[in-house]
A and B are shown apart, each in its own frame.
Chain A
Amino acid sequence: MALSLFRRYPMEIILVCMYTYLMFSAPGFATLDNQMNVLRNITMQGIIAFGMTMVIVSGEIDLSVGSGVAFSGCVTAWIARALTDTLGPWPAITLGAIAAMVILFLVGVLTGKVRQHFNMPTFITTLGLLTVLSGAANLITDGFPITSFPFQFNFLGAGILFGIPFPVYIFAAVFGFVYFLMNYTSFGRALYAVGGNLEAARLSGIDVWKTKTLALGITGVLTAMAGVLIASQILSGSASAARGWELDVISAVIIGGTSLFGGKGTVRGTLIGVLFLGIIVNGMTLLNVSEYWQLVVRGGLIIGAVLLNHALDRSAKKH
């Protein structure tokens, strides 16, 4: 009984155990302030991770999201600076945010088209884009952060509403949106079919390229949203923001049980993965674990989670 429960919810159970342990051993972990702090810290990577789940389930990957976040923050700040005088600050910022989302959506679509027509693995295209977008962000900002936002803009990324950090609401909304997409739309079903067996999906009349391209496009939009949130949090558009996030995001998706080969994975799992990473980082910091050791532990976690999932899969097949 206990074993079958563990087989069904392995990461959830480990998460609960870890949480309980930290509650009693990490000083300050159980305070409400700290809990909110954890939540705020995971929202932005989490928002992207939900989109990344769709991309990876469809059998592709997006390595460019780290630079995408920085780029979209810079685009928003740059447009806000250019238009605030004529339109006023809020329309200018809105326009900037929309522009960032549209651009990253189109970049995602382009990645999908290149995959379709030139059979170029998204691993390569988005690896290139990681550098391209970072360069573009630096071009826009000239290497210095653009501080064009009014201080009230800080609310979006750092404000508190009804006792909960504001970005957490966005995080929850995006989770709900992606959960709905993946479970209650034919697009969501197609994602799994395409990632599970591309040719079988194609022969069933599913538009396999549209499916993959849309997943990449949506992830672009979510990346831009995270970029706007972080720009709000630091009140500037900075080209050096979010460096290395792509690996954290992919780690969260993988820890959540999504297969890099495609066809398998849930956004609920990704939510667990995101919480898992956030809590372990916070807990280790409170326990005064050195930052270097934290890196070692986080890396080990990814490997351990995948090994565990494989082992459970194998034992499930025997039963």
Chain B
Amino acid sequence: MSAIIETQGLTKIYGNVVALDDFSHTFEPSRIHALMGKNGSGKSTLVKMLSGVTQPTRGNMMLDGREVSFKSPHDAFEANIVTVHQELSLVPDLSVTENIFLGRLPRTRTLGINRINWGQARRQTEELFARMGLDIDPKATISRLSVGQQQTVEIAKAMSFNPTLLLLDEPTSALATKEVEMLFGLLRNLKDQGVTMMYISHRMSELAEIADTVTVLRDGQHVGSIEMGASSLDNVVDMMFGDVARATRPARNTAIPKENPILQVKGLTRAPVFQDISFELRRGEVLGLAGMLGAGRTEVLRAIFGADPYDEGEIIMDGQRVDTPAPGSMVDLGLGYTPENRKEVGLVQDHSIHANLSMASLSKLAPHGFITKAVEAPGVAKQIEQLQIKVDSPALPVSSLSGGNQQKVVIGNWLNIDPKIMFFDEPSRGVDVHAKQQIFQIIWEQAATGLSSIFVSTELEEMLEVCDRILVMKEGRLLGEIDPSRTTLTELYTACMEGL
């Protein structure tokens, strides 16, 4: 049940963006092939084409020497290509058995009535689990299982289709170390049974452990494919990033005083998400918080802002101890937070640009609770001008703006409270290159006027570009500090992956 996957000149173009360019490669059977690359390098595009989610602009895919073309995920399925997606697709309130056979439970006729044959379904599940060496109760309800077990069920479900090619899109992103071990055991077991796998992960350290070959993509280009045994991780990182020089940043007034910091965090802990986080934010600096997805960066920021609780630790803002932070009181103290998922929680999409620009400053503008649009208007106009937000009229819904302009509205909403500290969580996500530069410019300009900020981005080159100082987090712990002017991208990447 193994297959050779071959691609010839596979290309995908979205509009005028080439997501994958002329990709030709042969994936050998019964092996685990890792796909590596930064965000936007084209690896997801490749997986989407193999699983029939999108169709190539040109080029061919061959399965066991036979040309295939998938019009839909269903077609890929018919060809025995099964995908395990990053997000779990299980129904939490149904049993393990029912989830595995969702939509295709075995049936039997009794007294002329077509009914579900639960006994057979359970037996098939048990056989499947036995074959995979799993110890999970087929009768258990999914929501009662750990995330690792759920991921395992997801893979078992994929295996119940007897795939010849299994596509795994970041299967470990939600798992703890022990669960990852379990998952890897399972994958090796499947490999021994002859299943070919393609594996996407951002966790570099997993590669050496699980992958047989690594295929690296960069900006839609196939940089190369190497045998894992014949290569080192540094080698792979170099392939991923190429010869990018140190990021360029404008000369910043570096007179940032070390003493009298505006924010001190001591021993902040919420097990198991983050532990013993201690740092200082200096006046007027842009401090970066770097780390891979799931390192706990956002969680730390949200805890300081009071959006989520923490177990223990101390937060001192401008010399004043904050006992129980809550968004309302932190805003009053002058802390602003632009959340990472702008679309979902940063804005009220249906409401006007005007309303979204004055959401956080309501209590400031209306000390006695009374307010008119005219009172809000100066703040709205100021931010539209200062941040160069492109709007026809502030009365239009904010959803009518582009991603970059929406992000500026989020930032403007906060600048209207005259913050002392800003947390920028992924401010460049889903924003075009030009707007990205404008947003960085805004952050620098605000810093020059005395605003202290913490900057988080998954794009490490942005961290090097924007920040004065970078703290590195891994698995909920703060590992140490990096000086961006003396660090290369590869070094920072390795630090986030492997530790300092």
Contacts and interface: CB of A to CB of B under 8 A. Distances in A.
A186 B363 contact: yes
B307 A200 contact: no
A196 interface: yes
B360 interface: yes
A13 B345 CA distance: 37
B346 interface: yes
Contacts of B307: 202-203
A196 B352 CA distance: 11
Contact of A192 (B332, B355, B370): B355
A8 to B, nearest CB: 13
B345 A197 contact: yes
Given A184-B370, A185-B366, A205 B348 contact: no
Contacts of A46: none
B347 interface: yes
A205 B360 contact: yes
Contacts of A29: none
A199 interface: yes
A205 B369 contact: no
B45 interface: no
Interface string A180-218: 000011110110110011011111111100000000000
B339 interface: yes
A237 interface: no
Interface in B313-334: 327-328, 330-332
Interface residues of A, number: 21
Given A184-B371, A190-B362, A197-B345, A203 B350 contact: no
Nearest to B307: A203
A192 B348 contact: yes
Given A184-B370, A184-B371, A197-B348, A207 B362 contact: no
Nearest to A316: B397
A200 B371 contact: no
Q: Is the interface of A mostly helix, strand, loop or mixed?
A: helix
A201 B331 CA distance: 12
A287 B358 CA distance: 51
Nearest to B376: A189
A264 interface: yes
Contacts, number: 77
A186 B370 CA distance: 6
Contact of A186 (B331, B347, B362): B362
A203 B337 contact: yes
B349 interface: yes
Contacts of A73: none
A263 interface: yes
B351 interface: yes
B345 A203 contact: yes
Contacts of B331: 204-205
Interface in B118-177: none
Contacts of A263: 348, 350-351
Given A190-B362, A200-B345, A200-B347, A206 B328 contact: yes
A186 B349 CA distance: 19
Contacts of A189: 355, 358-359, 362, 371
Contact of A185 (B347, B349, B370): B370
Contacts of A205: 327-328, 330-332, 360, 363
A206 B369 CA distance: 13
A131 B370 CA distance: 37
Given A189-B355, A206-B328, A197 B366 contact: no
B372 interface: yes
Given A186-B369, A190-B362, A200 B346 contact: yes
Interface in B380-422: 413
A199 B339 CA distance: 10
9 contacts: A186-B362, A186-B370, A190-B362, A193-B359, A200-B346, A200-B359, A201-B348, A203-B327, A203-B345
Given A185-B369, A204-B360, A263-B348, 20 more contacts: A185-B366, A185-B371, A186-B362, A186-B363, A186-B365, A189-B355, A192-B348, A193-B348, A193-B359, A196-B348, A197-B347, A200-B345, A202-B307, A202-B327, A203-B305, A203-B307, A203-B327, A204-B327, A204-B413, A206-B327
